Amino acid sequence: MARDLRYLVLAEGKFGPMTSKTANGCIRYSPERVVAVLDSTHAGRSAREVIGFGGDIPVVASVEEGMRHGPNALLIGIAPTGGQFPEEWRPLMRAAIANRLEIWSGLHTFIGDDPEFAALAREHGVTIHDLRKPPTDLPVAAGRVRDVAATVVLTVGTDCNIGKMTASLQLRDGLRKRGRRVAFAGTGQTGILIEGWGISVDAVVADFIAGAAERLTIDAAKDADIVLVEGQGSLAHPGYSGVTYGLMHGSLPHAMVMCAQPSRTAINNQPWVKIPPLKEFIAFHERALEPLRPSRTIAVALNTFDLAEPAARDAIARAEDETGLPATDPVRFDPAPIVEAIERFHAARAR
Amino acid sequence: MARDLRYLVLAEGKFGPMTSKTANGCIRYSPERVVAVLDSTHAGRSAREVIGFGGDIPVVASVEEGMRHGPNALLIGIAPTGGQFPEEWRPLMRAAIANRLEIWSGLHTFIGDDPEFAALAREHGVTIHDLRKPPTDLPVAAGRVRDVAATVVLTVGTDCNIGKMTASLQLRDGLRKRGRRVAFAGTGQTGILIEGWGISVDAVVADFIAGAAERLTIDAAKDADIVLVEGQGSLAHPGYSGVTYGLMHGSLPHAMVMCAQPSRTAINNQPWVKIPPLKEFIAFHERALEPLRPSRTIAVALNTFDLAEPAARDAIARAEDETGLPATDPVRFDPAPIVEAIERFHAARAR
């Protein structure tokens, strides 16, 4: 992946703490790559004013205005359910291609397969990168991960979009600061954009979910002692749970970090699915791996962005009581309790 | 699906009780469609002599010999791991297309995407049917199945290729004989070939596994009081478990039938994965559905093809003891114990 990318991030009408997952992940973990965000409904503000972080990155009203900040690529900044391209963005895409911006997309709908965009891109000599296009030579998983010496840690969660990627990246940074050789295996479009490699496991043909996870984990382990595999979905999610389950069986984590949002009691947009009690849900995850590899949940990562600080601290204490595990919000507070749990687990394995 | 199909079934070097799943399923459940099987290593024998059923269907040595039996289509009779086309079959495919046989394939590799076959098919005016090509408009699952009045029964299993489809079809026939309005929802290439419709759930993009299962179940329920959903894979299978899990969360079965092979103690070709005890594994399946829909396992279908009859009867009695559920081998013996368990469950739901 080229290292001189300067993204204009497209989030028209969607830039916000919970509605522009890809934009937000990129701003949090690769802010140096983001020159501006395009959302006319927030134009004139800064990223920090809209999503709470991202400093002075400007929000602009149009592609033309964005061009003044010197981008060389347009990054599609959302990850909607089903991954379709929002048709109302078509004029913005035309303008971006006409301005010779490379297109980077993690949508399910491949931009390069769209006849209009493909023709326009050819005309202007623009490259389209569809990050979800999976490798064509994936294997069916068969436990090859068992040959890997590294400690494999997978983030799992009570729902989608609950902070699994963010937690993994905070833990990556925390472990790196302590001198650990750690790799982040990105499994979704944002994680891939941030790290520069990975496989979108939810975009592969269903038979190869675990095979993709297996290959990713093995590749990540080549130069690392600890591999953090980015989790996807949730075993309780009616739409995406198959991806979560396959990811578990392909990556065969030695340890898991359970991600949850204390204020969320049901699956997002699926109020009929109540999130099981944390302790029970953790036990279920361990049982799911039992026939393949004994695995333990070693910490809880809470997403408390919507709670006042005292309520957040309370929620963390309650999660620790309920599960008997170290817990924290690794974005809002010091990720050390989870980082140390991983270090202890890794040290115990090495013995 | 056209009803006048006369298949020459291609199983070169692979025709056998466990190695030609698609051929065998088609021969068992649509024998009237099969005019001959192509496998030069068994040429001159009958289907019954090679796989134990299928009567006098002849096994032939070549496409030319097969043509004497009047086929109008070539059916690819295997479902190998990974679903790749066996390259050594290329000359046989060329001959079939040259003889103007339609091609029916359930492989992952789409025959229609192969440049040589596609060109040859165009030249000879031959249609290629790639049964695994999934619909392009699948939804992300969201519990829409809950609006369906029919009783939904899913076959689950301890491994792949253990008899889930066969059990479902025996139960379909048993329920039909008793006058029940029952539908079979095919989820794999063989089931689809036999029933004439369905979606290959393991061939869809991973995010849409449950969505495919949801659509299938809803469609099947339109003219039925009982829907039998064909299970896929196993929650203990390292490669395919994500498909199984997604299929469960998409179809949301009211009841499950657990399929097992008493002589199999580990996953096929994966001796490192021991199959969990039946009772424990059943409880795990029920727990997997708990957040979405309460579901019960109501019977056990055993595949005893490799046991002498007394050993088979013993295994059935042991399974009943261990699980407290009715059990039988619905292919070898009368499927009535399972058929009746479904009828009782359905009647209790209606009350």
- Provide DSSP, A9-49: EE-TTT-STTT-HHHHHHHHH-GGGEEEEE-GGGTTSBHHH
Condensed to tens digits (0 to 9), the pLDDT of residues A95-133 reads 999 999 999 998 888 999 999 999 999 999 999 988 888
Length of chain B measured in residues: 351
A67 to chain B, closest Cα gap in Å: 35
**Which chain A residues are Cβ-neighbours of B203 within 8 angstroms?**
205-207
Chain A CB within 8 Å of residue B207 CB: yes
Strand order in the sheet with A128-130: A59-60, A34-38, A7-10, A73-76, A102-105, A128-130
Q: At CA A88, angle to CA A83 and CA A89, rounded to 5? A: 70
User: What count of CB pairs under 8 Å joins A to B?
Assistant: 154
Chain B CB within 8 Å of residue A99 CB: no
Q: Which two tokens stand for residue A303?
A: 């997403």
Chain A CB within 8 Å of residue B277 CB: no
B206 vs A203, A276, A287: nearest CB:
A203
B72 HSE (CA, 13 A, CB side): 8
Condensed to tens digits (0 to 9), the pLDDT of residues A278-313 reads 999 999 999 999 999 999 999 999 999 999 999 999
* Residue A199 to residue A172: CA distance in whole angstroms: 18
Q: Do B297 and B286 touch, CB atoms closer than 8 A?
A: yes
Q: Which of the residues B245, B269, B286 would you substitute to probe the A interface, choosing the one with the greatest number of A C-beta atoms within 10 Å?
A: B245
The domains of chain B, with CATH numbers, are: 7-130 (3.40.50.720), 144-350 (3.40.50.300)
Q: Which two tokens stand for residue A28?
A: 């949090």
What is the chain A residue with the closest CA to B82? A140
Check CB contact under 8 Å for B238 and A146: no
Chain A CB within 8 Å of residue B80 CB: no
B residues 138..177 contacting A (CB < 8 A): 139-143, 146
**Which chain B residues are Cβ-neighbours of A243 within 8 angstroms?**
206-207, 209, 242, 246
* Residue B292 to residue B106: CA distance in whole angstroms: 31
A residues 253..272 contacting B (CB < 8 A): 269-270, 272
* Residue B324 to residue B309: CA distance in whole angstroms: 22
> Could you say which DSSP state residue B109 is in?
S
B274 to chain A, closest Cα gap in Å: 6
**pLDDT tens digits for chain B (351 residues)?**
335 789 999 999 999 998 998 999 899 888 888 999 999 999 999 999 999 999 999 999 999 999 999 999 999 998 887 778 999 999 999 999 999 999 999 888 899 999 999 999 999 999 998 888 888 899 999 999 999 999 999 999 999 999 999 999 999 999 999 999 999 999 988 888 888 788 999 989 999 999 999 999 999 999 999 999 999 999 999 999 999 999 999 999 999 999 999 999 999 999 999 999 999 999 999 999 999 999 999 999 999 999 999 999 999 999 999 999 999 999 999 999 999 999 999 999 988
**What is the structure's pLDDT at A278?**
98
Instruction: Compute how many other C-beta atoms are within 10 angstroms of the C-beta atom of residue B166.
Output: 24
Strand B73-76 with B102-105, pairing: parallel
**Which residue stretches of chain A are H helix?**
21-29, 47-51, 63-67, 90-98, 115-124, 164-177, 189-195, 209-220, 241-251, 278-289, 309-323, 336-350
Check CB contact under 8 Å for B207 and A239: yes
B249 vs A143, A241, A249: nearest CB:
A241
What is the chain A residue with the closest CA to B289? A236
A238 vs B83, B202, B292: nearest CB:
B292
- Provide DSSP, B241-290: HHHHHHHHHHH--SEEEEEE-TT--EETTEEEEEPPPHHHHHHHHHHHHT
Check CB contact under 8 Å for B203 and A203: no
What is the crossing angle of helices B278-289 and B241-251, to 10°?
Answer: 50
List the single range of A18-32, A148-162, B57-71 with lowest mean pLDDT.
Answer: A18-32
**Which chain B residues are Cβ-neighbours of A274 within 8 angstroms?**
291
Check CB contact under 8 Å for B205 and A209: no
**What is the structure's pLDDT at A29?**
84
Chain B CB within 8 Å of residue A231 CB: no
Q: B36 - beta bridge partners?
A: B8
Q: Residue B9: what are its φ and ψ, rounded to 5°? A: -95, 120
A3 has pLDDT over 60: no
What is the chain A residue with the closest CA to B140? A239
**Which chain B residues are Cβ-neighbours of A81 within 8 angstroms?**
140
B residues 30..49 contacting A (CB < 8 A): none
